[in-house]
Amino acid sequence: MTTVKLDKVSKLYPATSRAGGLTPALRKVSFELAPGEVISLIGESGSGKTTIGKILLRLVQPTSGSVSFDGKNIASYSPRGLREYYRQVQGVFQDPFSSYNPIYRVDRVFDMVRSVYFRSVDDRDWSAKIEQALDAVSLNPGDVLGKYPHQLSGGQQQRLLIARALLLDVKVLIADEIISMLDASTRVDVLNLLVKLKRQGLAILFITHDLSLGNYVSDRTVILRHGAIVEMGDTAKIFGNPQHDYTKMLLSAVPELRKKWQHTPLGPVAASANGQAANGHGATGHGAKGHAAGGAVVDTVEAGADAAAATALAHASLLDELTHAEQVVKRDFRAVFGGTRAVASGRSQVAVALEPPVLHEFEPGHLVAEPE
Ligand SMILES: Nc1ncnc2c1ncn2[C@@H]1O[C@H](COP(=O)(O)OP(=O)(O)OP(=O)(O)O)[C@@H](O)[C@H]1O
Ligand SMILES: [Mg+2]
In this prediction, residue 354 carries a pLDDT of 79
Mean pLDDT of all residues belonging to the chain: 77
Which DSSP helix (H) or strand (E) runs through 78? none
Cα distance between residue 296 and residue 15, in whole Å: 10
* Residue nearest atom 9 of ligand 1, based on CA coordinates: 288
**Under 8 Å between Cβ of 33 and 206:** no
In this prediction, residue 288 carries a pLDDT of 35
Cα distance between residue 204 and residue 38, in whole Å: 5
For residue 228, what are the CA distances in angstroms to 12, 33, 106, 143?
Answer: 13, 17, 38, 43
* Residue nearest atom 28 of ligand 1, based on CA coordinates: 46
* Residue nearest atom 4 of ligand 1, based on CA coordinates: 13
For residue 57, what are the CA distances in angstroms to 69, 215, 293, 311, 364?
Answer: 11, 24, 13, 8, 30
- Is the minimum distance from the CB of 328 to ligand 1 under 6 angstroms? no
Exposure of 95 in the CB half-sphere (CA atoms within 13 A): 11
Which of 13, 40, 209 for mutating ligand 1's site (highest number of atoms within 8 Å of CB)?
13
Gap from CA of 300 to ligand 1 centroid (Å): 18
**Residue closest to 227 by CA, chosen among 23, 16, 21, 370:** 23
In this prediction, residue 158 carries a pLDDT of 87
The residues of the chain scoring below 70 in pLDDT are 1-2, 254-353
Q: Which ligand is nearest to the CA of 43?
A: 1
- Is the minimum distance from the CB of 218 to ligand 1 under 6 angstroms? no
Cα distance between residue 185 and residue 292, in whole Å: 31
In this prediction, residue 287 carries a pLDDT of 35
In this prediction, residue 218 carries a pLDDT of 93
Cα distance between residue 24 and residue 243, in whole Å: 24
- Is the minimum distance from the CB of 11 to ligand 1 under 6 angstroms? no
In this prediction, residue 68 carries a pLDDT of 97
* Residue nearest atom 17 of ligand 1, based on CA coordinates: 288
In this prediction, residue 284 carries a pLDDT of 34
Cα distance between residue 170 and residue 57, in whole Å: 13
In this prediction, residue 63 carries a pLDDT of 94
In this prediction, residue 319 carries a pLDDT of 30
Exposure of 105 in the CB half-sphere (CA atoms within 13 A): 8
In this prediction, residue 310 carries a pLDDT of 56
Beta partners for residue 233, in sequence order: 221, 366
- Is the minimum distance from the CB of 242 to ligand 1 under 6 angstroms? no
